[in-house]
Structure 1
């Protein structure tokens, strides 16, 4: 599959996420989704103010996340980013801790994984650093990275 087809497929799958996410409208799911978004955003080790604005704008306008209050989504994402800004290791630890709370529920895990991939694809670029983080998230969720073409 070409990269263009992969990106198009990701965007199509992202559009159907709202219905799935509405089934999991809870704090645990929200935290896992925003923790994953923070991991992807920090994949290259930093998040400049322009990237942060773009990521927050995407999260705020993401149809799938609209089942949650915008202030909750942004607040949760900011909290994970602040952990990274304080210390990279603490940020990763807190983010993976939130993601691991979904383990054991394959439907929630797959849904949050697709959401994280839609965040990664939001800027039209899915670089090697983001792919590596996405693979690690899939493994943390006890999912096969190949199921997500990673």
Structure 2
């Protein structure tokens, strides 16, 4: 093996390790983002294609989630939705638990609130049920809902 080939393989492996490390570092954020997405999308009883598209767009454009494949993130979203559909109380408990892990990171928490509001508004309306879920998410994250004109 030539030295150039060795360096190329070494750089490739280093890049793979960095990607894996970033996935681990941001896994809690991804889980919280998908938990919030599922909660807000299910707030009015059904998930619209506009809401799904807004979530996917967020995934593709946010640096913390860009290290994950779209299919991994969609699977996490579907897992939260399935839990909510199977048993609403347990599903909500697990979703809010995932969100709670972001409470100590004010920047991430505010980004999550902005994301869920954008998803809720994707279909052109932000109804009272969605606002109530957004308020509950704010409280779980330790954020005053009035920061987002929710109270």
Q: TM-score range by the shorter chain?
A: 0.7 to 0.9
Any conservation in 2 of the 1:59–1:74 contact (CA below 8 Å)?
no
- What aligned pairs does 1:131-146 form with structure 2 within 5 A after superposition? 131-146=131-146
Tell me the equivalent position of 1:47.
Answer: 46
DSSP-derived class of the 1:143 partner: coil
Tell me the equivalent position of 2:7.
Answer: none
Return the alpha-carbon distance in structure 1 between the equivalents of residues 86 and 57 of structure 2.
27
Higher helix share: 2
Of 43, 52, 57, the residue aligned with 2:53 is: 57
- What aligned pairs does 1:57-136 form with structure 2 within 5 A after superposition? 57-62=53-58, 63-65=60-62, 67=66, 68-136=68-136
Q: 1:26 to 1:71 in 2, by over 3 A?
A: same
Superposed CA RMSD in Å reads 1.9
Name structure 2 gaps, 5 residues minimum.
1-21
The superposition leaves residues 34-76 of structure 1 with CA deviations (integer Å, 9 ceiling, x where unpaired) of 10011111113x326xx2x443333223353462421122111
Return the alpha-carbon distance in structure 1 between the equivalents of residues 37 and 31 of structure 2.
10
- What aligned pairs does 1:5-16 form with structure 2 within 5 A after superposition? none
Count how many residue pairs are aligned between Structure 1 and Structure 2.
123
Displacement after TM superposition at 1:122 (Å): 1.1
> Could you tell me the TM-score, scaled by structure 2's length?
0.74
Structure 1 segments (4+ residues) deviating >4 Å: none
Return the alpha-carbon distance in structure 2 between the equivalents of residues 149 and 56 of structure 1.
24
**Bigger Cα displacement from structure 2, 75-84 vs 57-66:** 57-66
DSSP-derived class of the 1:130 partner: helix
> Could you tell me the TM-score, scaled by structure 1's length?
0.74
Return the alpha-carbon distance in structure 2 between the equivalents of residues 26 and 126 of structure 1.
29
